């Protein structure tokens, strides 16, 4: 004869099964409701590859345990991310309105407009270089008024890489690359002086160095004849490396300035050239060999002055104040004894 089944045991098992079933139904219902609420947000996120990082950040935020998971919390995170992305897209659109091919042409024309028609830009004498390397308020004001809005648009865009900037600028030629480097490396130095120079060192200099290295990697200053044989153009491609506090950038700078110097020396003899640019450069070099040789040697020497400072201190001491860095005793001694500051 079978033992009688206890009523309490049967009821307990039934209750547990009903509870599990109820929880399962509730979870399914809640999941369906949550997905429905967020479907539109996810569809917007899929419109552009630039937005794919948003759900990843939200996911990591909750998995890390910093906040307990809740649908309302996730929704607010998504909304904030979408607002940020929408703002970034608008800023990029604004940048495209400012960073035009016409603006690049205007910058290049402005930068070299002081050279007389009879001066061959292949070799520019020191008296014509003063405009570029001395502080002049009138010159600064022109830089600010004509090209300051482009710099501000770049800042607002949040761009942090050469690839992003080049995708907006879409340079048509090696001369557009030249204009971009001038815009990133030189115009900020005329537009943000004194305490404002922080923005040059922390934002524009790294961008300029990236564009410079990208141009060098593509062979633009070494192979494009309109740059290679016009040394007053070619020199600017290497300046961002000189301004860098990265020792590897200076190793590259030493190499590229030496190549430029060898090209100048190679023009001292012979006739003609593979193209009109080389031919005119040879004529300019042979017409004034001493000035030509000084152009190459001075570029090398100026880079060496920068390099030894980075080798010794790992940074430029004269930038410490602008960057909020504490001055080391050896840096103080260096500056007090007349160490180079390169105009601040």
Task: Report DSSP letters for 83-96, one per residue.
Answer: HHHHHHHHHHHHHH
Q: Are 234 and 227 in contact (CB under 8 A)?
A: yes
Per-10-residue mean pLDDT, the chain, length 344? 44 52 51 45 36 33 41 64 71 94 98 95 94 94 98 95 96 98 98 94 98 98 98 98 98 98 97 95 97 96 98 98 97 96 82
pTM: 0.76
User: Integer distance in angstroms from the first to the last C-alpha of the chain?
Assistant: 104
Instruction: Supply the pLDDT for residue 23.
Output: 54
Angle between helices 231-243 and 205-217 (to 10 degrees): 130
E strand or H helix at 330: helix 329-336
Q: Are 151 and 184 in contact (CB under 8 A)?
A: no
Of 194, 298, 205, 193, nearest in space to 245 by CA: 205
Instruction: Supply the pLDDT for residue 89.
Output: 83
Q: Are 280 and 119 in contact (CB under 8 A)?
A: no
Instruction: Evaluate the CA torsion angle 299, 304, 310, 315 in order and state its sign.
Output: negative
Instruction: Supply the pLDDT for residue 343.
Output: 76
Distances (CA, A) of 77 to 66, 71, 82, 135, 338: 13, 10, 9, 48, 54
Q: Are 152 and 188 in contact (CB under 8 A)?
A: no
Instruction: Supply the pLDDT for residue 80.
Output: 61
């Amino acid at each position: 004869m079978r033992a009688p089944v206890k009523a309490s045991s049967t009821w307990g098992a039934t209750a547990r099964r009903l509870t599990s079933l109820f929880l399962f139904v509730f979870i399914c219902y809640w999941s369906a409701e949550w997905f429905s609420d967020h479907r539109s947000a996810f569809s917007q996120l899929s419109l552009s590859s630039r937005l794919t990082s948003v759900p990843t950040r939200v996911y990591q935020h909750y998995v890390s345990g910093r906040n307990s998971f809740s649908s309302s919390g996730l929704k607010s995170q998504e909304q904030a991310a979408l607002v940020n992305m929408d703002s970034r897209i608008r800023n990029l659109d604004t940048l495209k309105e400012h960073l035009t091919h016409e603006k690049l042409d205007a910058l290049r024309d402005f930068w070299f407009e002081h050279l007389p028609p009879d001066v061959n830009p292949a070799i520019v004498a020191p008296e014509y270089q003063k405009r570029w390397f001395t502080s002049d308020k009138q010159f600064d004001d022109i830089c600010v008024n004509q090209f300051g809005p482009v710099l501000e648009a770049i800042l607002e865009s949040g761009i942090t890489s050469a690839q992003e900037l080049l995708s907006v600028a879409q340079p048509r030629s090696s001369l557009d690359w030249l204009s971009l480097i001038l815009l990133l490396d030189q115009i900020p130095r005329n537009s943000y002086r004194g305490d404002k120079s922080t923005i040059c060192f922390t934002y524009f200099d790294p961008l300029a160095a990236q564009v410079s290295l990208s141009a060098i990697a593509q062979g633009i200053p070494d192979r494009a004849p309109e740059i290679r044989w016009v040394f007053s153009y070619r020199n600017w491609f290497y300046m961002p490396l000189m301004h860098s506090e990265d020792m590897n950038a200076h190793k590259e700078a030493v190499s590229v300035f030496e190549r430029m110097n060898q090209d100048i020396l190679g023009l001292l003899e012979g006739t003609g050239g593979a193209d009109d640019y080389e031919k005119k450069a040879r004529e300019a070099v042979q017409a004034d060999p001493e000035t030509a040789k000084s152009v190459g040697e001075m570029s090398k020497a100026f880079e060496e002055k920068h390099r030894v400072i980075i080798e010794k201190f790992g940074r430029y001491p004269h930038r410490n104040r602008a960057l909020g860095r504490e001055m080391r005793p050896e840096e103080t001694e260096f500056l007090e004894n007349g160490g180079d500051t390169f105009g601040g």
